[in-house]
Amino acid sequence: MLGLGDVGLADFHGGRIRISRPRLHSALFPAKCEFPAIRDLASVAHDLSRAFYETESDLDIVELRSSLIEGWRSSAPENWSSDWVLYSHRGGLAIWEYEQCLLDVIEAVSHQSGAPQPATNLISYVPRYQKRMFNNRTFGALSMMAGSIGVFSLISSFPPSAGRSPSLLQA
């Protein structure tokens, strides 16, 4: 499949996409992206965060990112913008933006240019996010196990038929 690679804000000129040189990571590890639309949305969202960080704007970054995502959802096809696609536990926008942050760090290390912001800030939240995801999934799995055990014990406590029920009057 032919792909453009990461498309960021710098690649848009006059309402068109300008194909630029590939990033360093593309030479190191060619992408095998099955769903490039969300990767590109994450790239644009990360570029927006980077521009916000560099300009030290008074605007609210949450509102800016929400507007970007809502604009995407209103104009992209349903199979590119549904809740199922954007949901982070299934490899949605947050996972792809995490990849963009890692790629920024790879390039910063190779160029010895220092810690790229806001990539390192976002990466610092990943262990807590992963722990919360693990805890949620563990709690969900334990709840399902406990519910199943409860249902099976309840079913096994009833006699299968009235004729086979134990009689308390037998002596």
Q: What is the DSSP code string of 114-166?
A: ---TTHHHHHHTHHHHHHHHHHHHHHHHHHHHHHHHHHHHHHHHS-SSGGGPP
Write down the pLDDT at residue 43.
85
Q: To the nearest 10°, the Cα dihedral for 86, 95, 141, 127?
A: -140
Q: Where are the beta strands (DSSP E) in 44-86?
A: none
Write down the pLDDT at residue 123.
84
Mean pLDDT in runs of 10 for the chain (171 residues)? 59 74 61 73 87 85 91 88 77 82 82 80 84 90 95 83 57 51
Query: 3-class SS at 17?
Result: strand
Query: 3-class SS at 59?
Result: coil
Write down the pLDDT at residue 56.
80
